[in-house]
Each structure stands twice: as structure tokens, then as C-alpha cells.
Amino acid sequence: MKQIIIVLAMAVLLGSCTEENTNPPFVEDQTFRLDENSPAGTIVGVVSGYELDEGQSFSLRITGGNGAGTFDLDARSGHLSVADPRELDYEAHPELSLEVTATDDHPNDPMETVVTVSIQLRDLNEFPPVCPDQQFSFGPMAAPGDTIALLEAYDPEPQQALLFRIYNGNEEGIFGLSQAGGVLTMVDTAALHASAFSVFNLGVEVRDQHLDSKADSAGVTVEFLRN
């Protein structure tokens, strides 16, 4: 009797192990967002899915797009994390794509699903604009609306628009400065000629328009050549 029970148990076990594998793991393409320059260990997201065949589970692995070793993927939990942040540069790679393979644990006929996991990098404002100190001069024929100078400024971050303003030294309203473009113009010639000064030291701020905006300031010296 004991031998019969053992044989039956082995038959049941063998039958369960060789049950036909009918479905691969169900995993779809997924997209995550991540700040550029995120440090090692940062969790990007969880690559999720499920097994359609009862009693089976599946594991995950990165099978493409990770030559630089930027990401690590936990085979069981699906946690995708940063392993090496050197490639997480928005200006160089605004989006990275990984090939991820899910493999079920059927002992004889494992099935796979291959998906694309996209990581879109968020552009951080890493550097402020640069506006050096500058000097200009103009003569007595300047009229209201005339351009005196075009201020020099740039932003190390690509595609960043700059905003200009005079924050000091223009209390009499002699000069104007276009917010976009940094064009310094004559506004009030009467106040100019009435002023006791021939040299005006303007404090100028230049600010980028990033959500996390940064600014630089400069001294702009403008000399009025009266004769």
C-alpha cells in the first residue's frame, strides 16, 4: 500500500511539473520619468506585470540598452534603480530605452515576453545665465527710443530664453531696457541733460525662464559724451 501511495504521489508531482505552459508573462511597455543626474540608488520605478498561468511566477532582466550599466533591475520585485548616473544627462540623452525580458519559471517550456522600458529625463537648471560687466558710450544727439547698446549675455543651458531688467542706477528713468533681448535705449533726454552726471552705473539682472530659474547680475557703465 505504501508503495502505491508513493507511486501515485510521484505521478501527480510529475504531471504538475509537465503541465503545458500556455501563456507568457503579461508585461507591457512602460515609461518612467527621472531627474537628470539622479544619484546611484535612486528608484526609477517598478516594472510591473503578472503571470497568467496558475502556480507560475516570472523573473525580469535587462537584455538591451544598458551597455553603460546605468540601471539595475531586481529580477523578482521589478524595482528599476540607478546604478551609474554618468549617462543621466538630459542634454546628451533626453530619453533612454531599455529592453526588458520577462521569463516564467515553467521547468520544461519557459516562455518570455520582451518589452521596452523608456526613461524620460527631466531637464534640471544646472547653471545660471552669464552676463559680464560692460561699458558703453553715446553722444548728445541721442533721442528718445534710440538704441544705445545691446547687452551681452548667454545661458550655458541650451534653448533658455533670458529676461533683462535694470534694478539699480536708473532712478531718474533716463534709460530703458527691453525685457526680452536686452536692448538698452534712451527714454528721457530731458532728465539726461538735467543730470549732473555723465557716467551712469546701472545694475542689471539677467534671469532665465526655467521653472527653477537662476539669475546673474552685472554692472553696466554708460557714459554720456556731452560734446
The CATH number covering residue 141 comes to 2.60.40.60
Task: Quote the cell numbers at residue 47.
Answer: 516594472
Per-residue pLDDT band for 18 (boundaries 50, 70, 90) equals: low
Which residues, including other chains, have CB under 8 Å from residue 226's CB and lie 6 or more apart?
A: 140, 198
Secondary element (H or E) of residue 82? strand 79-82
Query: What is the domain count for the chain?
Result: 2
Whether residues 36 and 111 share a domain: the answer is: yes
Looking at 122, 145, 175, which one is the last position of a domain?
A: 122
Same domain, yes or no, for 143 and 115?
no
Residue 62 structural domain = 22-122
Q: Are residues 86 and 150 in the same domain?
A: no
Looking only at the bridges linking them, the beta strands covering 134-138 and 215-224 are parallel
Q: Is the pTM of this model over 0.75?
A: no
Q: What type of residue is 90?
A: Y
pLDDT of the residue at 35: 96
At 14, is the pLDDT very low, low, confident or very high (cuts 50, 70, 90)?
A: very low
Pair 152, 102 in one domain:
no
